[in-house]
Structure 1
Amino acid sequence: MSDTTFATTAQRLLETRGLSVRYGGVSANTDIDLAVGAGEIVGLIGPNGAGKTTFVDAVTGFTKSSGSVSLAGSQLEKSSPHRRRRAGMARTWQAGELFTDLTVAQNLAVAVQSVGLRAMFSDIVNGSKPPADAIDRALTLVGLTDVADRRPGELTLGQQKLVGVARALVGDTRLVLLDEPAAGLDTHESKEFGTELRRIANTGIGVLLIDHDMSLVLDVCDRLYVLDFGKVIAQGPPAQILDDPAVVAAYLGSPEVEAAAPQNDWEEQA
């Protein structure tokens, strides 16, 4: 499905064309065209098993795929995950546990630790020097500079989730892909989390958001893509997506079921 609803005035950061993932004879993603612009929050939603996390794995290089992946015009489909990270593409993981024995700042320092034999030798000879400025910028983006010296166990769940986002933002991140970042948050925490996401996007960083919290998704996303069985079945502004019969059928089984369902079934079924 071509990306006809992308705002032409936005600078394209992420762009995938014909991205497909196969596991043996099973197609997990099929010909996905998707774009995220600078300063945009784009939602990727769909039923469980629709292929959302597989898509993020493919974009970030953790799963073999066909098709193209570009960041700000640079082709990355043949690049390793760490090269994509170096180019400015970062992600979170569904199981994004923090190091409980480290401070918030130290958790971020680990995320930007250099890898490889040369970096290891340099650390031994010169000692590791965490990039304090980069860490401070990331914590400022998510509003957590005042908890830099605390350990995760001293924070609220909402703050812990934001530390996970900050860990992805530390460094020269231009695009962040968030996989279920609001899982476990209550309504108030989710709303605050959405406020911080919007503040991040307002700095020009592109955000691709996967989450089952439909209140969050509908509140903060500029555009949505809907996956079902690995294919994009709808795309557009949130209000348009809510009225799409294909989306209703994917989430609730059929338009007739949706007509008889209570309003909050969107959130429950997501």
Structure 2
Amino acid sequence: MPPDPLFATDALTVRYGGVLANDRVTLTVDRGEIVGLIGPNGAGKTTLVDAVSGFAPATGAVTLAGRRLDGAGPHRRRAAGLARTWQAGELFTDLTVAQNLAAAIERPGGRTGGGDVCGRRRPDADGIQAALEMLGLGDAADRRPTELSLGQQKLVGVARALVGGTAMLLLDEPAAGLDTHESGQFGAELRRIAATGVGVLLIDHDMTLVLDVCDRVYVLDFGKVIASGPPAAIRDDPAVIAAYLGSAVAE
């Protein structure tokens, strides 16, 4: 009997008035697996991430490591090990890279408050450095985001989501704005993350990245999953070509 997946949604449904944004979406991500979620603009991809992370009301089940999270608030889902990035993932430019990561795991109302973020005491310094090292940013801890390339800034955003015991990572268009070389480097870093056992759900319009780095891919259209499978099958699926790709993607 196969083990239960690390992460799963079951019949996840989101409605905004009369609009059905997600229609009974069921998907899984295993430990150490990178799973893609693609589809045209307006297909419901970001809505799904919002629902999974607790920022949009939904029906259906959200499970992480055997624990039901639907009904829990965003902070409780984060504490359980579910983390996300945002399309507009701006960093605090007046803080160092390490302080940006510290801000993500500082507990609201904690005794140390802003002092930690401003450098007097850094919470979980070892975990912060480990996240940066994993993404090849170990030497950037004391630099400001404006001193880094766009590709490095994107990786800082991912590192910020990794700190704090993350088991499942939801990435919402993390490669937006990257050139081909930077996107390739970004994909290599995602593989390093997955190799540690973290599950990754990747949403992106960079089809070269998605088809190269993902183990499996789900395709959304009008809020429904219209196809799922390995990248090679998705690339040549007639329904996917018609709804999203427009033409078969070359090897």
Give, as a single letter, the amino acid of the residue that structure 1 aligns with 2:181: H
Q: 1:162 to 1:25 in 2, by over 3 A?
A: same
Give, as a single letter, the amino acid of the residue that structure 2 aligns with 1:57: D
Give, as a single letter, the amino acid of the residue that structure 1 aligns with 2:163: V
**What TM-score do you get using the length of structure 2 for normalisation?**
0.94
Q: How does 1:71-220 map to 2 (within 5 A)?
A: 71-116=64-109, 119=110, 121=111, 123=113, 129-220=122-213
Q: 1:74 to 1:16 in 2, by over 3 A?
A: same
Percent identical pairs in the alignment equals: 67
Deviations 1:115-160 (A, max 9, x none): 14xx2x4649998642101101111221111111110111111100
For the residues of structure 2 that align with 1:263 and 1:122, how far apart are their CA atoms?
Answer: 51
In structure 2, the gaps of 5 or more residues are none
Give, as a single letter, the amino acid of the residue that structure 2 aligns with 1:242: R
Aligned residues: 248
Mark the structure with the bigger radius of gyration: 1
Q: 1:170 to 1:243 in 2, by over 3 A?
A: same
For the residues of structure 1 that align with 2:144 and 2:114, how far apart are their CA atoms?
Answer: 26
Contact 1:17 1:32 in 2 (8 A): yes
Contact 1:59 1:69 in 2 (8 A): yes
For the residues of structure 2 that align with 1:217 and 1:125, how far apart are their CA atoms?
Answer: 40
Q: 1:124 to 1:187 in 2, by over 3 A?
A: closer
- The equivalent of 2:225 in structure 1 is 232
Contact 2:4 2:66 in 1 (8 A): no
Deviations 1:39-87 (A, max 9, x none): 0000000001000000000000000000000100100001000000000
In structure 1, the gaps of 5 or more residues are 1-7, 253-257
Contact 1:91 1:177 in 2 (8 A): yes
For the residues of structure 1 that align with 2:177 and 2:39, how far apart are their CA atoms?
Answer: 18
For the residues of structure 2 that align with 1:188 and 1:235, how far apart are their CA atoms?
Answer: 28
- The equivalent of 1:3 in structure 2 is none
